[in-house]
Amino acid sequence: MRRGGKLFGILNGCNYNACFPELPRTQLRSQLNQLAYQALLSKLGYSEFVHSSEMIAQIRLAQSQSPQGFLLTSVGRLTDQKMLILRQPWQGGLVLDAILEQLASWDESARFWLLGNGDAALAREFSEVAARHHNFLFINGYHEQLSAALYHCGDLFLMPSSFEPCGISQMLALKAGQPCLVHGVGGLKDTVADGRNGFVFAGNNLQQQSEALLQTLARALALFNTTHWQQLVAVAQASRFEWRDSAREYVDKLYSSAN
């Protein structure tokens, strides 16, 4: 029996009624350090030990005020599905090292804040990177208020998943008016359009994907604060992935008697 046309990919929806923080973006950004400290304290309150990631994060927060310049953000689980490309070897370090060097070379005030938890080995690896780079804040855990603030305050959201059936983080970033830099796979390719509401990279293997990620970041940085960038922000904020549309696809593609 032929089964062609029986496999469908249907995006999740995003709740556009839920409000992001009511504070103006500039005021909320000035509170990012405070929110990061709260995230660290909330984790330490349930932990018997202080881990190196918490110590490094506290040192980085003490070294500077809340980000004043360009802010690259990422919120997600620490798994190879989400982070494998960042862990790839690159010129004596990792792709993540190269991203941070690229940011520092472009603008000394640029920062990358990553909030995520999951695999302990990945957390140790990212903690080592945070110890090497003053412009990288890695918080190993999850904190709802800090997460919402990063979606709302970031300038560019990074989601380099190796595979992604749908993804919700990029939808939340777009909802807040933050363009996204994503790997062109699965739901990321279906929700982020290169040059319209973000930037998309691709490659046939990890080496090509790593190189494409760095090249695409350079392209994004070159556009920052231009008229084109403001258009990206406007289109990102206007992007809609409604649950009613997803529900209609379920009915039409999966449950319709015609299928």
Residue 105: which CATH number? 3.40.50.2000
Which of 246, 100, 253, 86 is closest to 171 using CA atoms? 246
Average pLDDT, the chain: 92
Q: pLDDT digit string (tens) for 120-148?
A: 999 999 999 999 999 999 999 999 999 99
Answer whether residue 183 shows pLDDT above 60: yes
Say if 4 falls within a structural domain: no
| Cβ atoms of residues 87 and 54 within 8 Å | no
Mean pLDDT computed over 166-182: 96
The pLDDT score that the predictor gives to residue 225 is 96
- Determine the structural domain holding residue 219 and report its residue range: 25-241
Q: pLDDT digit string (tens) for 190-203?
A: 999 999 999 999 99
The pLDDT score that the predictor gives to residue 1 is 44
Say if 249 falls within a structural domain: no
Q: pLDDT digit string (tens) for 75-113?
A: 999 999 999 999 999 999 999 999 999 999 999 999 999
Q: pLDDT digit string (tens) for 209-247?
A: 999 999 999 999 999 999 999 999 999 999 998 888 878
Separation CA 181–CA 174 (nearest Å): 11
Quote the number of domains for the chain: 1
Say if 247 falls within a structural domain: no
